[in-house]
Amino acid sequence: MISEMVLPGGPSIAVRYDGRVESPYLKAEVSEAPVGLVIVNSGGVRNAMTVSLFSEVAHYPIGLWVSIAKDSYTHSLLSAAPEFTFVTLHRGQGDIARACGTESGRERDKCAGLDLYEGGNGFQFLRDSIASTACRIKRSVDLGTHTLHVAEILFGDVTRRSGLPRHLLLSDLAKI
């Protein structure tokens, strides 16, 4: 059985009775992709959303791009303050990706359930992630439904301990 939910802050998402998530971001992908989080801390409001439409753009200076749906809460927060934390999730963090990718922060404080810490200058970092990086948007491109943000990475915490699980992938979420 599949029940359909149309969330105010995001696209239509179907939650299966067995707990698996049917998201357009899991169904319409053209290739395997890692999964991360964008965390915004703007004017005392924190929010986290799951992302898979992202990649690095350069190493010197280091930067990344991420594509954010215009109807998401994150999009409106980024319009007010163009800074965010980009979190690289590992394979053991599928539940976090599901929680932050199936509900809008307009409905629920998603950050309350995350083990966050202050990474510096107000950026919220996620404990036990592969990496948490502070990003500042340099350029934004209107893509219609989404805005593609190109950001520079200011600083970050990267976990280098051996034995850390590999990146969380879209296919891992499809299996949950």
Ligand X SMILES: Cc1cc2nc3c(=O)[nH]c(=O)nc-3n(C[C@H](O)[C@H](O)[C@H](O)COP(=O)(O)O)c2cc1C
- Sites of contact with ligand X (CB under 6 A): 9-11, 21, 23, 25-26, 35, 47, 49-53, 67-69, 72-74, 97, 101, 103-106, 146, 170, 173
In the complex, minimum distance from the CB of residue 161 to ligand X, in angstroms, rounded to a whole number: 25
In the complex, minimum distance from the CB of residue 168 to ligand X, in angstroms, rounded to a whole number: 9
Closest listed residue to residue 132, CA positions, set 87, 83, 84? 87
Closest listed residue to residue 69, CA positions, set 113, 23, 107? 23
Give the residue with the Cβ less far from ligand X, 52 or 133: 52
Give the residue with the Cβ less far from ligand X, 101 or 156: 101
* Residue nearest ligand X, Cβ-based: 10
In the complex, minimum distance from the CB of residue 160 to ligand X, in angstroms, rounded to a whole number: 26
Give the residue with the Cβ less far from ligand X, 110 or 157: 110
Give the residue with the Cβ less far from ligand X, 12 or 120: 12
Closest listed residue to residue 39, CA positions, set 81, 11, 5, 95? 81
In the complex, minimum distance from the CB of residue 128 to ligand X, in angstroms, rounded to a whole number: 19
**Which token pair is 174?**
């499809």
Q: E strands within the chain?
A: 2-6, 12-16, 21-22, 36-42, 45-51, 54-59, 62-69, 83-88, 116-120, 123-126, 131-142, 146-158
